[in-house]
Chains A and B, each alone.
Chain A
Amino acid sequence: NAGVTQTPKFRVLKTGQSMTLLCAQDMNHEYMYWYRQDPGMGLRLIHYSVGEGTTAKGEVPDGYNVSRLKKQNFLLGLESAAPSQTSVYFCASSYGTGVGEKLFFGSGTQLSVL
């Protein structure tokens, strides 16, 4: 019962470098989300997907891109990393998005951009 798995767990980038964070879920959930968590701020939604092949912008999408080529995977890309993107990134999934659909979170990726 892996649930939601994120890779990598830690990463250090230099400004301008690119990287991709991978999220995989084995619960056959339709909905997947990428959040960032910063000190003193709540979790903020970056992008989300309501199904395979779909993506949509969340609250803070600038500087990020996403793809959902397979139902079980949701990738978050940083094309040109900036120090402001230093954060802890969480992937989450849910069966649906209606009232009462709880989120299942991964363990997070700690990203530092120097």
Chain B
Amino acid sequence: SQKIEQNSEALNIQEGKTATLTCNYTNYSPAYLQWYRQDPGRGPVFLLLIRENEKEKRKERLKVTFDTTLKQSLFHITASQPADSATYLCALSISNFGNEKLTFGTGTRLTIIP
């Protein structure tokens, strides 16, 4: 069966360091992968999308990579700040389908320690 795993439930990183979150998948051939941020008591907010034929995407301090051979996406936050503390969700959609076939991971709770 198809499965998405986000590396750990919780991750603590010292302020100023780079935080790296992992999203692994099995039995998928995703067309694209999205990353969302979710704060406590709020809905997820879209951050970045990367397509299967793209290796890397950047947005300000955020970087996403997509390795279809390793079946893995890495999400990096450089120069991390306490305000980056949140839960980060990855979501995959398989080829030829849109958001109705978007599958979410369980999320990684990131805490940036001052």
A interface vs B, CB < 8 Å? 4, 31, 33, 40-45, 48, 50, 56, 58, 90, 92, 94, 96-108
Contacts and interface: CB of A to CB of B under 8 A. Distances in A.
Contacts of A58: 100
Given A40-B106, A100-B49, A106-B43, 8 more contacts: A44-B104, A45-B100, A97-B99, A99-B98, A102-B46, A105-B43, A108-B42, A108-B43
B34 interface: yes
B41 A108 contact: yes
A5 to B, nearest CB: 11
B99 A42 contact: no
Nearest to A91: B43
Contacts of B51: 99-100
Nearest to A93: B99
A33 B99 contact: yes
B89 to A, nearest CB: 7
A42 B107 contact: yes
A13 B85 CA distance: 33
B16 interface: no
B103 interface: yes
Nearest to B50: A100
B28 to A, nearest CB: 13
B86 interface: no
A14 B32 CA distance: 41
A60 to B, nearest CB: 12
A96 B102 CA distance: 13
A94 B44 CA distance: 13
Contacts of A40: 106
A90 B100 contact: no
A99 B93 contact: yes
A3 to B, nearest CB: 9
A107 to B, nearest CB: 5
A96 B98 contact: yes
Which among A44, A50, A100, A107 has the greatest number of chain B C-beta atoms within 10 A? A100
